[in-house]
């Protein structure tokens, strides 16, 4: 039975069949539903590349894609920037609101950031409260504008943690890939 809204994966195998005179008579085949195994393998791969708390790329996946994107940008002399983003005073958030509050701040940051970036931009969690953004086809001016908008949006975001409310700020560093080293 086809999973609701999903795809059915069938493994088909066959063997040639010969008649009594050893002449080829066709194939005999069978199919096995491997949807469950295929779905589990896809989920394992997704988990291997995703930060479980925030749902963004983990460090390994981010650096793999960033390496490929950097090579592509250099090859075709296309602009690209990377941003390193740090949640300011994150230890204080954890100390004041507990690890649940810190986790909520991290998840909220990731959600706000994902809503701000383009489909082809890449976001990854690099460390505890450190994130990276890769912005292909973006020059330094575009990155500065995007970074400013993100900082403003985060500073206006109020975190609701039980009866408590808090906010946080971020610091951003920007590096531009230079392909024309004249």
Catalytic annotation, residues: 129
Helical segments of the chain, H only: 35-49, 59-75, 90-116, 140-155
> Which H or E run contains 126?
none
Q: Which long-range contacts (CB under 8 A, 24 or more apart) does 45-54 make?
A: 51/124, 51/125, 53/103, 53/106, 53/107, 53/125, 54/106, 54/107, 54/109, 54/110, 54/125
The burial of 86, by beta-carbon neighbours within 10 Å (0-12 exposed, 13-18 middle, 19 or more buried), is given as middle
């Amino acid at each position: 039975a086809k999973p609701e809204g999903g795809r059915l994966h069938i493994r088909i195998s066959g063997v040639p069949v010969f008649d009594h005179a050893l002449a080829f008579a066709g194939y005999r085949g069978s199919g096995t539903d491997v949807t469950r195994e295929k779905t589990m393998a896809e989920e394992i791969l997704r988990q291997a590349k995703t930060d479980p708390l925030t749902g963004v790329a983990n460090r390994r996946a981010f650096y793999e894609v960033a390496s490929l994107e950097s090579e592509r940008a250099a090859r075709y002399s296309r602009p690209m920037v990377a941003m390193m983003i740090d949640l300011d005073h994150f230890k204080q958030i954890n100390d004041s609101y507990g690890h649940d509050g810190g986790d909520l701040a991290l998840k909220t940051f990731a959600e706000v950031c994902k809503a701000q970036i383009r489909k082809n931009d890449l976001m990854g969690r690099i460390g505890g409260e450190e994130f990276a953004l890769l912005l292909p086809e973006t020059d330094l001016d575009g990155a500065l504008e995007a970074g400013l908008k993100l900082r403003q949006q985060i500073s206006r975001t109020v975190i609701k943690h039980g009866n408590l409310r808090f906010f946080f700020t971020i610091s951003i560093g920007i590096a531009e890939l230079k392909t024309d080293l004249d």
